[in-house]
Amino acid sequence: MKDNNDMPGHLARRFQQIAVAVFLAEVEDAGFDLTPVQYAALATIKANPGLDQVTLAGLIAYDRTTITGVIDRLVQKGLAERRASSRDRRARELEITDEGRRTLRKITPAVESAQRILLRGLSAKEGEDLMRLLRKAIAAGNDLSRAPLRDLQA
């Protein structure tokens, strides 16, 4: 009888569950209200000004139907803006606002703290190993989900 602890799928779920909880706790302690998903989206918008939603989704491996709601909430919080593209009238160009920039800057220590806490049971080397193995497994399975990671086409 296989135990849950022998199932990588179950370990994946647990690890993610803890990651989200730690992130939210650290960010709230810092006085902010931002989810891991919203943070990743905002940071990626900042790094790629004017990108469209599909490109953003590809860069962080979100489903295109999920990103709609995430951006809705970033816009509602005044952290990002969505405007029609002049080149392609189907597309929306995304920009970070000054408020979004400020928030990102101030929230960074909490985000980094969350990453440390998530690995607190491991030595530095073990943490590196875990990340390396996760990256490798993820790369091999990238195309198995509906929302694979995609590079910038540039």
Long-range contacts of 112-115 (CB under 8 A, 24+ apart): 113/26, 114/19, 114/22, 114/23, 114/25, 114/26, 114/27
Residues 49, 62: Cα–Cα separation, whole Å: 18
User: CB under 8 A: which stretch of 27-35, 76-84, 94-102, 111-119 binds its own copies?
Assistant: 111-119
Residue with tokens 């002049």: 86
**Which listed option, DNA, its own copies, none, makes contact with residue 6 (CB within 5 to 8 Å by class)?**
its own copies
User: CB under 7 A: which stretch of 58-66, 96-104, 110-118, 127-135 binds DNA?
Assistant: 58-66
Residue with tokens 């405007």: 83
Q: Which residues pair with 83 in a beta bridge?
A: 93
Instruction: For the segment 67-126, give every residue that binds DNA (CB under 7 A).
Output: 68-71, 73, 82, 85, 88-92
Cβ atoms of 25 and 115 within 8 Å: the answer is no
Of 9 and 121, the one with the shorter C-beta distance to DNA is 9
Q: Does 65 bind its own copies (CB under 8 A)?
A: no
User: What is the contact surface with DNA in residues (CB under 7 A)?
Assistant: 13, 17, 20-21, 35, 37-38, 52-55, 62-66, 68-71, 73, 82, 85, 88-92, 145-147
